[in-house]
Structure 1
């Protein structure tokens, strides 16, 4: 059913086994252990961008958590109105909660594909996807410090003897792997919890944080009693990659936010006046074009009339500016002369 996942996963592991088998030998336990670990590293590197998108989406969700909580308090009894307001808030800020969940859901089939490949190494198997019968026998016979990859701590003595190991050796190698895998699980959870927004904390969040900090690491220890050592190497390498990836991604996001913050501060400082400097007000430019004042009642301005040509076709007669009284504008001489005559008649 998951062959479209199983074959690529086994193919990546097959390539890494060829690489490390050339260095340590095809049947070396180090070659098989490193092939498992680098298989995990390769798959997680492919899913690096979806992880970054997931982290950004979770951060955005925490920023909007107080606003969503207010909507729940306001429209708690009206589910339809609450859903409408939630969608409106998400559309305004371009936030899609499913966009952050989908990248993490992609890891689920990858995990099942890896589980199927490791469980495919069993006695009597003629092939395991990309691996042939000889490579299956090589994996079953390989040992890491005397412990077998296909054995677990709870396996019977007969099963351990069949794989060429004993319980004490298996405990000596497997227990440290379990402890380190559990500790890395706790550290990755603590790193994520420390990034949470306190304003978005609620009772449900507190419960999930306790599960992630204490129950999940304890689950790794309990599961380690029943899982083969190959699966424990998967848990160890997966949690190790997650911890390093969180460190890189979180610091990159913090650096981007700090750069945006500094850019906004610099922009405000450039626009603001310097200390002791008065703000400069721009004055409108003066109109230097010549205008003729019409001596009408409203005192409006209009352009001077152009001289009309004479009836005989000769050039228009020019008005003698010398006849104008000193201090007067030529355009209004006639109006003032009429005013003087009318005042004399009244007298």
Structure 2
């Protein structure tokens, strides 16, 4: 009969496993590479854009829109349109000469999908999505405040490629009034920060005045870099950094409800998503107006500089940096103060931050992120060794004196008061803490949650392989083997623990490995690996302590 039961349970387990695999194949979350649509200029429509589009550029105070980013020019003007292609070792982008905006930016060092060699697309302007970086000059004489719409720049070439350490790309606008404006993009090898300068050469007889603006415009489409639909999700929305608040998240819903308006010395504004970030970082040493708004279904966050003047015959330069790349703390710290805060570890950041540092440090020696997670599990376990040891000793004693507890229960029958007194005397005599078994879980949960955020926010783990079938630690195990092994180790732990005296509680405890296995099926493989190794270490420690306690005699 026992053999038949074992065979039936094994068969049921195999069938259940195959059903889950098939369900995941048919309905599970898949990273399906979307064919990249060609980014196009927003100014190629033959329809009068002023009649059909709202205003996407800021006013001089950065509060609301004042001018459209679509020109009021005729269709013939679109013939002057030019898209400039630029390639560096870490960036590939398209710049629209109408306005000089970055309308496409891809990251060749980061693939769109693990089984796809296409680079990850961060910025794009096409039928799939609108996510662009815009900048220009507004105010009294600013070209972008002109009733004719965005200025038309010219470029010496249609394409540029970084050769060496630095690449400079100039877009030039020659005004009828003798004012020549050069929009200069400066790229550095290995750097995701693009330096943008506006050189204003005032060849007119009048003083020239304007303000610099930079903004990020994005529609409400979902985050293409989000890899899981289970558990906590990475933040998607705008982020502001000012003197008063170094890191303030603003969701798209918040932007719908009210416009954000801030004035601060220095700071930055960003658009954050899972693993990647775009951010405008104005030049330090000035007071800037920061704002957000919603226009034409797009969410816009940006800054406006103080007004600057250029005297006749004078040339003046104003500048700001634009970062577009991975949320790598080292790179973000170099780009701007407090920008590394966009790697958001949640309320347990004080635990997650050292864990992230330790994880990267270990990886520097072992070269494998999965092995690094194993080592960090061992270190965390060593730090909590004494806490776990006390808990395991209490559980081992409860297991050892389980028959005595059963005898006391039978002796006192329904007299709960006498039974409780007898149990308390036994606990006191044998130094048993009935709540001791909760300590390992209580101690582990903050670390577990902090490590969850660490693994989820670490772009280094994106597409990072471990061994065998685990080729991406940031997503779930494709065959669910790690969660199943984790569930099996939980079951083994229960065998080492004392059986709860209450039959209902005992049944619930037996169900926990199944429940946890189900929840962990779609968790990132790196997180399941941590919990699996932690369970194995706990089993080892608990087994040794159980043997020690069983070898001791009763207290006198």
- Give the TM-score taking structure 1 as reference length: 0.48
Structure with the higher fraction of residues in strand conformation: 2
Answer with 1 or 2: which has the greater Rg.
Answer: 1
Q: Which has the higher contact order (CA 8 A, sep 6+)?
A: 1
- Give the TM-score taking structure 2 as reference length: 0.32
Structure with the higher fraction of residues in helix conformation: 1
